[in-house]
């Protein structure tokens, strides 16, 4: 008897997480000889536990599958649900009983670190319980912080949004170029500065804005920062500075913690806001210059106007490859991206052990950070430029709220 | 002897203020029989006083004139310089002496209220001093608050950015649709709520997000607001609320003033931040629900990815019409947009008395605001929809920082 597929999305959305969903569903529907029904779990594993699933065939037949390729956000809805560490917990037999009820043979989970943790636990429980279900992780995160992969789908589009937006902010800030000003742009990234580093791609010439870029990977010192700003204002009247939300003093204290209380999310991550706001007030106080701060906020991960064609294509391919590997009996793996050595940029899709990936964090290599922690070097530019290439023209009709078309 | 043209830009930039500059320069360069040199003043009238001007012919010859049509920000740079009320002030003879030195016959100023104030004063001084220079205002403001015109260039693109971005924020917020949440989006607009009202265009069906929309035109009551939010959460799990930066209690106290100190800009306008942040904290305190606030910030006025083709074309036509009227000897006028009565949307470009326009503010008509001040009616949608139509595909090479190509 043919086994069924189930696919889910988890964690924060990206501009191309639905492109990966498209890849999985498109390819699974193609493999009619080996696969029965293709299910989507609504709101991830948490929704699956509540039996909220849908038949993805209807999405394909309505023509909506093509549409979701360029729709940001998670079409199936998401969750932030952490499975218990203890594999003896009651939830595991419950989950696998449900898998059996739905005749699931192949399980795909599209997400970041925490989603790979789910894939890890489910595949480990399958091993000890004798289940033959294949569990495959499809990477997704704007943070680009997964290990064992060159980069992750979602990063390229977010990086393109950051670079384009910072460039437009720099143009906007420069219209009063007979007056000195400082604009501080706060970019997403708790511990990994990949997205903030992408702001370097906004530059068109040497010393162009953003002149100063600070990542969480370098210890941030407020005195040095003020000196950096003072020096930069000597050659750039309308200075743009980019900072990660997670810049910290190098000893675990976030700069924004100097200002305000912070909360903690389900996974124990500190919820940060306001490193930009904090520095805005600092610059005002220390230098008395005109200053504003801008938080790029969720548009970094949900803007369809800046989808990178390269990112979109790779997100689809990750989904397609996942289906192929699962049909080959591969389990407990994440589809990793290996960059081909040599002149031309290309990617091989390789299954890597999800247990080595979950709960790890890949940060920007120290040697790619220059200017004593205030700049980004050419190595990063060479790495990131291929990832933002290509324009995707998104039809205006396509920008639908999700539940306008999820029946 | 042929007279020369000078054109400047003033106030905050928009996505299409350079399209109007294109219109003036393109048409002025075409009228070779009547016009000599076409000058641009760098940083508006303030820069002109410091003799920072440029020959726009070089911009046309380098091919950059075509490029600036889709470049946001003010190509010539801007200023916020208020001419003295007293026409007997020394600055007036100084300015007109400079106009004479450069043989200026036609003066174009692209801007909003404050720029029309400059056109008004210069044309009135010309009248009492016997100068024959023609002074023409070309409207520009994302705020859409100029009187005697159906709308202003810059508003359509900003409205399109707001509608698209709010729609994407709503998609992003809905991925955890098994958990209740509130997202508050703060949109530019001190006294006029046009841009915030445009968020209604994000809706795809009845009761779709943004469910609640608050403009500065209606008195804002925090108790009523909390009741509105509570009620809306009953039918919409992931609620999106849009508020103007300038929402106030109806007696002149801005909601954000309840929270923090505010500064004042050159023109005596209060500089606001934080009505969204204030309401975020209020909702957290009163309802204990997950809540975040997002300030759309300067990207509303500088995003090239959301230029409305209609807005761009009208901005160009406003510039072209300005040149024609000036050559006919018209002075002290702003190019106003009159919407043709009837089924199909079209615009006539008509000179209106700048003295009746400057320092006035057109707000959203009370009858277009519904839901006891928490919603926007169909009349606004009918008004605004034609203004955001049409996609402009902006080449990636085009997103240049201004000083990369202003020699």
HEC letters along chain A = CCEEEEEEECCCCCCCHHHHHHHHHHHHHHCCCCEEEEEEECCHHHHHHCCCEEECHHHHHCCHHHHHCCCCCCCCCCCCCCCCCCCCCCHHHHHHHHHHHCCEEEEEEEECHHHHHHHHHHHHHHHHHCCCCEEEEEECCCCCCCCCCCCCCCHHHHHHHHHHHHHHHHHHHHHHCCCCEEEEEEECCCCCCHHHHHHHHHCCCCCCCCCEEECCCCECCHHHHHHHHHHHHHHCCEEEEEEECCCECCCCCEHHHHCCCCEECCCCCEECCCHHHHHHHHHHHHHCCEEEEEECCCHHHHCHHHCEHHHHHHHHHHHHHHHHHHHCCCCCEEEEEEECCCCCCCEEEEEEEHHHCCCCCCCCCHHHEEHHHCEECHHHHHHHHHHHCCECCCCHHHCCCHHHCCC
Beta-bridge mates of residue A111: A139
Cross-chain residue pair A177–B79, CB shorter than 8 Å: no
Min Cα–Cα distance to chain B from A14, Å: 9
Q: Which of A51, A115, A172 is the mutation pick for testing B, counting most B CBs within 10 A? A: A172
The average pLDDT across B299-318 equals 93
State the pLDDT confidence band at B396, using cuts at 50, 70 and 90: low
Of the ranges B58-67, B117-126, B160-169, B373-382, which one carries the lowest mean pLDDT score? B58-67
Q: Kindly provide the b/e burial profile for residues B1-24, where b requires at least 16 CB atoms within 10 angstroms of the residue's own CB.
A: eebbbbbbbbbbbbbbbbbbbbbb
Decide which of 3.90.180.10, 3.30.420.40, 3.40.50.970, 3.40.50.450 is the CATH code for B3-153+304-360+393-404. 3.40.50.450
**8 Å CB contact between B275 and B186:** yes
Q: Inform me whether the pLDDT recorded for B87 exceeds 50.
A: yes
Catalytic pick among B114, B117, B143, B228: B143
Which residues in chain A touch residue B165, judged by CB atoms under 8 angstroms apart? Answer: 299, 303
Instruction: Judge if the upstream peptide bond of residue A210 is cis by omega within 30 degrees of 0.
Output: yes
Cα separation, A215 vs A196, in Å, equals 7
Q: What is the dihedral of CA B37, B42, B45, B46, to 10 degrees?
A: -140
Cα separation, A138 vs A314, in Å, equals 11
The average pLDDT across B106-132 equals 97
pLDDT for the residue numbered A259 = 57
Partner B contacted by A207 (CB < 8 A): no
Partner A contacted by B204 (CB < 8 A): yes
Cross-chain residue pair B305–A304, CB shorter than 8 Å: no
Radius of gyration (C-alpha) of chain B in whole angstroms: 22
Min Cα–Cα distance to chain B from A299, Å: 7
Min Cα–Cα distance to chain A from B396, Å: 8
In the DSSP assignment, the letter for residue B42 is T
Q: Which A positions 336-355 lie with beta carbon below 8 A of chain B?
A: none
List, run by run, the mean pLDDT of 10-residue segments along chain A (407 residues).
95 93 98 97 95 94 88 90 96 97 98 96 98 98 97 96 93 85 96 96 90 97 97 96 96 78 49 77 92 92 89 98 98 97 91 96 97 96 92 62 32
In the DSSP assignment, the letter for residue B300 is H
Q: Which of B172, B271, B396 is the mutation pick for testing A, counting most A CBs within 10 A? A: B172
pLDDT for the residue numbered B277 = 86
pLDDT for the residue numbered A373 = 97
pLDDT for the residue numbered A395 = 62
Min Cα–Cα distance to chain A from B276, Å: 13
Which residues in chain B touch residue A67, judged by CB atoms under 8 angstroms apart? Answer: none
Continuous segment of H or E residues that includes residue B155: helix B155-173
Return the closest-CA partner of residue B29 out of B65, B71, B1, B68.
B65
At B58, give phi and psi (nearest 5°).
-65, -35
CATH number of B158-301: 3.40.50.460
Q: Is B114 helix (H, G, I), strand (E, B) or coil?
A: helix
pLDDT for the residue numbered A204 = 85
Does CATH number 3.40.50.450 belong to domain A3-153+304-360+389-404? yes
Q: Which A positions 301-320 lie with beta carbon below 8 A of chain B?
A: 301-306
Cα separation, A151 vs A143, in Å, equals 9
Q: Is B240 helix (H, G, I), strand (E, B) or coil?
A: strand
State the pLDDT confidence band at B163, using cuts at 50, 70 and 90: very high
Partner residue opposite B165 with nearest CB, options A168, A176, A299? A299
State the pLDDT confidence band at B259, using cuts at 50, 70 and 90: low
Cross-chain residue pair A167–B401, CB shorter than 8 Å: yes
Q: What is the dihedral of CA B101, B103, B109, B110, to 10 degrees?
A: -110
State the pLDDT confidence band at B401, using cuts at 50, 70 and 90: very low
Distance of CA B144 to the CA centre of its chain: 6
Partner residue opposite B175 with nearest CB, options A50, A77, A172? A77
Q: Structural domain boundaries of chain A?
A: 3-153+304-360+389-404, 157-302
Partner B contacted by A186 (CB < 8 A): no
In chain B, which residue's Cα lies nearest the Cα of A294? Answer: B297
Cα separation, B352 vs B341, in Å, equals 19
Cα separation, B309 vs A288, in Å, equals 41
In the DSSP assignment, the letter for residue B176 is G
Cross-chain residue pair A294–B294, CB shorter than 8 Å: no
Q: Inform me whether the pLDDT recorded for B313 exceeds 90.
A: yes
pLDDT in tens, B356-375: 999 899 999 999 999 999 99
Which residues in chain A touch residue B403, judged by CB atoms under 8 angstroms apart? Answer: 174, 177
- Angle at alpha carbon of residue A146, lines to A273 and A79, rounded to 5°: 60
**8 Å CB contact between A304 and A70:** yes
Angle at which helices A275-287 and A222-235 pack, to 10 degrees? 70
Strands A238-244 and B35-41: unpaired
pLDDT for the residue numbered A268 = 52
Cross-chain residue pair A43–B208, CB shorter than 8 Å: no
pLDDT in tens, B72-86: 889 999 998 999 999
Cross-chain residue pair A172–B73, CB shorter than 8 Å: yes
pLDDT for the residue numbered A131 = 97
Min Cα–Cα distance to chain A from B133, Å: 27
Strands B181-187 and B238-244: parallel
pLDDT for the residue numbered A113 = 92
Partner A contacted by B163 (CB < 8 A): no
Cα separation, A50 vs B349, in Å, equals 60
Which residues in chain B touch residue A267, judged by CB atoms under 8 angstroms apart? Answer: none
State the pLDDT confidence band at B392, using cuts at 50, 70 and 90: confident
Count contacts between A and B (CB, < 8 Å): 153
A3-153+304-360+389-404 and A157-302 share one CATH topology?
yes
Cross-chain residue pair B73–A175, CB shorter than 8 Å: yes
Partner residue opposite A401 with nearest CB, options B13, B174, B396? B174
Q: Which A positions 115-144 lie with beta carbon below 8 A of chain B?
A: none
Cα separation, A93 vs A87, in Å, equals 9
Instruction: Name B275's Cβ contacts closer than 8 Å, sequence gap at least 6.
Output: B186, B243, B244, B245, B246, B247, B254, B255, B256
Strands A35-41 and B212-214: unpaired
Place of tokens 């599209």: A110
pLDDT for the residue numbered A277 = 86
Active site residues of A: 143
Which residues in chain B touch residue A281, judged by CB atoms under 8 angstroms apart? Answer: none
At A160, give phi and psi (nearest 5°).
-65, -40
pLDDT for the residue numbered A179 = 86
Instruction: Name A38's Cβ contacts closer than 8 Å, sequence gap at least 6.
Output: A4, A5, A6, A7, A25, A28, A29, A55, A56, A57
Which residues in chain A touch residue B170, judged by CB atoms under 8 angstroms apart? Answer: 401
pLDDT for the residue numbered B404 = 29
Place of tokens 């043989």: B103
Cross-chain residue pair B174–A204, CB shorter than 8 Å: no
State the pLDDT confidence band at B1, using cuts at 50, 70 and 90: confident
Which residues in chain A touch residue B396, judged by CB atoms under 8 angstroms apart? Answer: 391
State the pLDDT confidence band at B292, using cuts at 50, 70 and 90: very high
Q: Is A118 annotated as a binding residue?
A: no
A91: tokens are 């939830």
In chain A, which residue's Cα lies nearest the Cα of B75? Answer: A175
Q: Which B positions 230-259 lie with beta carbon below 8 A of chain A?
A: none
Which residues in chain B touch residue A74, judged by CB atoms under 8 angstroms apart? Answer: 175
What class has domain A157-302? Answer: alpha beta
Strands A3-9 and A35-41: parallel
Q: Inform me whether the pLDDT recorded for B326 exceeds 60.
A: yes
In chain A, which residue's Cα lies nearest the Cα of B50? Answer: A178
Min Cα–Cα distance to chain A from B304, Å: 8
| More confident call, A88 vs B171 | A88
Q: Is A226 annotated as a binding residue?
A: no
In chain A, which residue's Cα lies nearest the Cα of B401? Answer: A171
Which residues in chain A touch residue B176, judged by CB atoms under 8 angstroms apart? Answer: 43, 77-80
Cα separation, A386 vs B214, in Å, equals 43
Of the ranges B167-181, B219-233, B347-361, which one carries the lowest mean pLDDT score? B167-181
């Amino acid at each position: 008897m043919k086994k069924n597929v189930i696919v889910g999305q988890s964690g924060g959305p990206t501009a191309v997480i639905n492109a990966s969903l498209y890849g999985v569903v498109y390819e699974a529907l193609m493999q009619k000889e080996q696969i029965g029904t293709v299910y989507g779990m609504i709101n991830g594993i948490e929704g699956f536990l509540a039996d909220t699933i849908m038949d993805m065939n209807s999405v394909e037949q309505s023509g909506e599958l093509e549409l979701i390729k360029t729709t940001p956000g998670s079409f199936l809805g998401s969750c932030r649900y952490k499975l218990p560490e203890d594999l003896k917990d009651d939830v595991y037999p419950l989950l696998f009983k449900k898998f059996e009820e739905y005749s699931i043979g192949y399980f795909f989970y599209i997400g970041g670190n925490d989603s790979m943790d789910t894939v890890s636990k489910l595949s480990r429980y399958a091993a000890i319980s004798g289940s033959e279900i294949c569990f495959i992780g499809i990477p997704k995160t704007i943070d680009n912080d997964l290990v064992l992969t060159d980069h992750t789908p979602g990063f390229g589009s977010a990086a393109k949004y950051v670079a384009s937006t910072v460039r437009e902010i720099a143009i906007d800030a420069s219209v009063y170029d007979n007056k000195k000003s400082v604009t501080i742009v706060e970019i997403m990234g708790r511990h990994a500065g990949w997205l903030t580093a992408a702001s370097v791609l906004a530059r068109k010439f040497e010393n162009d804005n953003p002149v100063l870029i600070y990542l969480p990977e370098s210890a941030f010192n407020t005195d040095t920062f003020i000196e950096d700003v003072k020096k930069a204002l000597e050659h750039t009247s309308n200075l743009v500075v980019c900072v990660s939300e997670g810049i910290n003093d190098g000893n675990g204290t976030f700069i924004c913690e100097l200002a305000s209380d912070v909360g903690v999310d389900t996974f124990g991550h500190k919820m940060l806001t306001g490193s930009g706001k904090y520095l805005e007030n600092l610059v005002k106080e220390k230098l008395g210059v005109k200053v504003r701060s801008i938080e790029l906020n969720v548009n970094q991960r949900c803007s369809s106007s800046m989808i990178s064609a390269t990112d979109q294509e790779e997100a689809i391919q990750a989904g397609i490859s996942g289906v192929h590997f699962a049909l080959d009996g591969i389990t407990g793996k994440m589809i990793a991206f290996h960059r081909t050595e040599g002149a031309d940029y290309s990617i091989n899709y390789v299954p890597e052990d999800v247990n080595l990936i979950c709960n790890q964090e890949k940060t920007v290599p120290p040697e790619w950070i220059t200017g004593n922690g205030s700049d980004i070097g050419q190595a990063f530019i060479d790495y990131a430029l291929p990832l933002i290439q290509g324009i995707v023209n998104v039809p205006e009709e396509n920008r639908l709220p999700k539940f306008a078309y999820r029946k």
